[in-house]
Amino acid sequence: MKPVSDTAVQRAYQVRIALFLISAFIGIFLLISIYRGIATLDTLDQTERERDRWQRPGDVIQALGLKDTNVVVDIGAGAGYFALKLSPIVGKHGSVVAVDILKEPLLFLCIRSFLRNQWNIHTIHGLPNNPRLRVGSADAVLIANTYHEFTQPRSILDHVFQSTEARRATSHSRPCAPIGCGGIP
Ligand SMILES: C[S@@+](CC[C@H](N)C(=O)[O-])C[C@H]1O[C@@H](n2cnc3c(N)ncnc32)[C@H](O)[C@@H]1O
């Protein structure tokens, strides 16, 4: 058997140290991310409880006239303040389609809906001019505290009306309920 040289042993040792440092770095990074994620989830819950006092979410949702099995779209859903509240209203045979142009709030919404066992919430990563909804797929659309952020509102509204087109005639729900920062008037 060929003897292993000192240089080879030393190189193997250096590789092991490098691997250990990389794993430790990744581990620390993951722990910090998890810690920050949990802190964000906590903050979201806390801010939303305070928001419940003035936002009148019950009135907003009632204005949509939803019923069990409906498909309701929340455009500009953020981390899901309304989407999570809409979920039990449409029930397990209905669905909430949460659209946002940012992936991070949608990720938090996914985690929150998973933690709450709300399996009827689906997310769509929308474009600034297109929420990427299927034509005739929605019973109602909520645009809450978001309209002022649209850079191409006309295009968004065209898509919104196309998405509710087929169902508008038969549904009792309101096709579109945009509300501003102060809640419904
Ligand atoms: C102020 S937050 C409101 C979030 C949520 N509706 C609420 O009431 O808590 C506005 C959200 O709209 C999203 N947004 C802005 N323009 C959008 C667009 N064109 N399509 C979808 N989402 C959009 C932003 O990324 C942001 O998450």
Kindly report whether the global pTM for this prediction surpasses the value 0.75. yes
Query: How does residue 165 score in pLDDT terms, banded at 50, 70 and 90?
Result: confident
**Distance from the alpha carbon of residue 146 to the mean position of ligand 1, in angstroms:** 5
- Single-letter amino acid code for the residue at 136: G
Quick one: pLDDT at residue 184? 42
| pLDDT, tens digit (0-9, with 9 covering 90-100), for 83-136 | 999 999 999 999 999 999 999 999 999 999 999 999 999 999 999 999 999 999
| Residue ID of nearest Cα to ligand 1 atom 23 | 76
| pLDDT, tens digit (0-9, with 9 covering 90-100), for 75-98 | 999 999 999 999 999 999 999 999
**Distance from the alpha carbon of residue 23 to the mean position of ligand 1, in angstroms:** 37
Cβ atoms of 139 and 116 within 8 Å: the answer is: no
Quick one: pLDDT at residue 185? 37
CA atoms within 13 A of residue 150's CA, in its CB half-sphere: 22
Using the predicted structure, report yes or no on whether residue 20 has a pLDDT greater than 60: yes
Quick one: pLDDT at residue 1? 67
CATH of 57-179, one of 3.40.50.300, 1.10.10.60, 3.40.50.150, 3.30.1310.10: 3.40.50.150
Tokens of residue 25, six digits: 């770095």
Q: Round to whole Å and give the CA distance between 52 and 144.
A: 14
Quick one: pLDDT at residue 178? 54
Computed over every residue of the chain, the mean pLDDT equals 91
Please give the angle made by the CA atoms of 163, 76 and 82, to the nearest 5 degrees. Answer: 95
Please give the angle made by the CA atoms of 48, 74 and 83, to the nearest 5 degrees. Answer: 40
**Distance from the alpha carbon of residue 75 to the mean position of ligand 1, in angstroms:** 7
Instruction: Name residues contacting ligand 1 (CB within 6 A).
Output: 75-78, 81-82, 99-102, 105, 126, 128, 131, 144-146, 149-150, 156
User: 86: closest CA among 163, 159, 139, 135?
Assistant: 139
Quick one: pLDDT at residue 2? 72
Quick one: pLDDT at residue 167? 66
Query: How does residue 182 score in pLDDT terms, banded at 50, 70 and 90?
Result: very low
Quick one: pLDDT at residue 179? 57
**Distance from the alpha carbon of residue 81 to the mean position of ligand 1, in angstroms:** 11
- For the chain, the domains span 1-55, 57-179
At residue 171, the 3 state secondary structure works out as coil
| Minimum-distance ligand 1 atom for the alpha carbon of 99 | 21
Cβ atoms of 91 and 71 within 8 Å: the answer is: no
| pLDDT, tens digit (0-9, with 9 covering 90-100), for 32-54 | 999 999 999 999 999 999 999 99
Alpha helices by DSSP H, 67-168: 81-90, 103-115, 153-168
